[in-house]
Amino acid sequence: MNRNDSGFRKGLLIVFLAGMALGIVSINLLMTDAVRENGVFCAFLENGIQREAGFEPFFRLLPKRLGLMLVLLLAAAARPFLPVAAVAGGVLGWLAGVYQGAALLEAGLAGLLASWAALLPQTGFYAAALLMMFRGAWLREKGWIPGGKAFARCLLCGFGIFFLGILTENWLNPAILHAFWKIYR
């Protein structure tokens, strides 16, 4: 039995990038003036820069991210899985496109760089967790991992990686944003 799931990963990447392109186009066509006038991205970035690391912000962030984690767990457990993965990949791509487009519209190249700084390093952990959980669901759906134990291990590993993302978002990302702010102020 061939357990090569690179086709699934490539497909998910294509759906994500298509969603991202759609998000960039939609914000440029539909919301250009509103984004520039309201300064949504700049307010978001300023809030991130003012955020301090610690336990209090961690416990405010935790329920928000665990809600997202619950949605991802439900998506991974869905049957049939492939349509749910395609929708999730497209929606996450669209959100990423809107975010990047708003940053570029409001603050130009500096805004785009700031948006990347705001996403590092936690997004790498979140993406790895998503791929781990979705890979387990894909292998389960194909019958390549029999039983629920291996699938549960994939979900548990994905949850652990996601939790590392929450920790880095709370304790490491504020330092990255502060350093970025000092450079580009």
Per-domain residue ranges of the chain: 6-184
pLDDT of residue 147: 64
> What's at 115, amino acid-wise?
S
Long-range contacts of residues 73-79, Cβ cutoff 8 Å, at least 24 apart: 73/133, 73/155, 73/159, 75/134, 75/137, 76/133, 76/134, 76/136, 76/137, 76/155, 76/158, 77/137, 77/155, 78/137, 79/141
Most confident range, picked from 23-27, 150-154, 177-181:
23-27
Q: Is 125 a residue whose pLDDT tops 80?
A: yes
Give me the DSSP letters along 28-85.
HHHSHHHHHHHTHHHHHHHHHHH---SHHHHHHHHHHHHHHHHHHHHHHH-SSHHHHH
Q: Is the per-residue pLDDT at 50 higher than 80?
A: no
List all residues 6 or more positions away from 117 whose beta carbon is below 8 Å from its beta carbon: 176, 177, 180
Name which of 90-104, 113-127, 144-158 the model is least confident about. 144-158
What is the pTM assigned to this prediction? 0.83
Q: pLDDT tens for residues 161-185?
A: 999 999 999 899 888 888 888 887 6
Q: Is 54 left (phi over 0), alpha (psi -120 to 50) or beta?
A: left
